[in-house]
Amino acid sequence: MDYKVVTSDMLKLNVSSSIASLGICNERKFSKSLTVEDLKAKLELITGIPAMSMDLEVYSEENKLVCNLNDTSALLGSFHIDDSMRLHAIDRDNLRKLGEYDDVSKTEKFEISDDIYDKKTDSVRAFLKKKKAGKYNPEEQVRMKQKEEEENRLNQEAIRNIKVDSRCQVEMPNSMARRGTVRYVGFTDFKPNVWVGVEYDEPYGKNNGTVGGKQYFSCSDKYGGFVRPSYVMCGDYPPLDDLDLDEM
């Protein structure tokens, strides 16, 4: 009797990145029939690193380097890679330490009192007053107040159907729909009214659940975000797998 070794057509790998403090993501599935070039294209959606400037390394569960994926035409299945290994994406065009040039706390700032600024005739405030624009337009202020009241009404209605730990889809104007899990519902210190904290399935967020030094929930960096309740729909929204991404 002949025996055959049957192996899966998919690899289950952890993904990490050299930028954005991404750390290790949830386990992802990749087809062994993918070329390295196609693999980089998929990883661009996950890590935000442009495929053209991406280098790939594979590490064992013991965090030892297994191989480099340098041949873009080679198939993923042609490398000695096993499930649960870590696929590390490196942005070779941006190897500087994150935040190295982002600290502006020591930068000298120009400051002016509100009274002095109000007397200037060449300022933005003087221009708005002259044109009766923005907050200096009574009709615009009434319209903005009505809009705010309507948004608050919609948010109050939406909040009744939003529960912590519910699966959800976030649909914001002019943005692609994003899926995740509700992790927080309530008031915040950074903005008035009720907000919904969402842990996204992909690194589409802006934080890790902490804003302004206050922790509202906990998740990986770049996976957390806060949105108005009216943009959140709770229901049966399973995570998008690789097949779903290909079809979008």
* Residue 186's CATH number: 2.30.30.190
Last residue of a domain, one of 56, 71, 91: 91
Instruction: Count the domains in the chain.
Output: 2
CA 166 to chain centre: 19
Q: Is residue 140 part of a domain?
A: no
Last residue of a domain, one of 91, 125, 148: 91
Q: Is residue 241 part of a domain?
A: yes
For the stretch 152-203, pLDDT in tens is 777 777 788 899 999 999 998 888 899 999 999 988 999 888 899 999 999 9
User: What is the residue range of 68's domain?
Assistant: 10-91
Last residue of a domain, one of 63, 91, 119: 91
DSSP 12-40: EEEEEESSTT--B-S-EEEETT-BHHHHH
Q: Is residue 114 part of a domain?
A: no
For the stretch 85-97, pLDDT in tens is 889 998 887 764 4
For the stretch 105-139, pLDDT in tens is 556 666 777 788 778 787 777 777 777 766 677 77
* Residue 17's CATH number: 3.10.20.90
Whether residue 58 has pLDDT greater than 90: yes
Q: Is residue 217 part of a domain?
A: yes
How sure is the predictor about 234, in pLDDT bands with cuts at 50, 70 and 90? Answer: very high
For the stretch 5-31, pLDDT in tens is 446 788 989 888 886 544 556 678 899
Q: Are the beta carbons of 9 and 15 closer than 8 angstroms?
A: no
DSSP 189-201: SSSSSEEEEEEES
- Whether the model clears a pTM of 0.85, i.e. scores above it, the answer is no
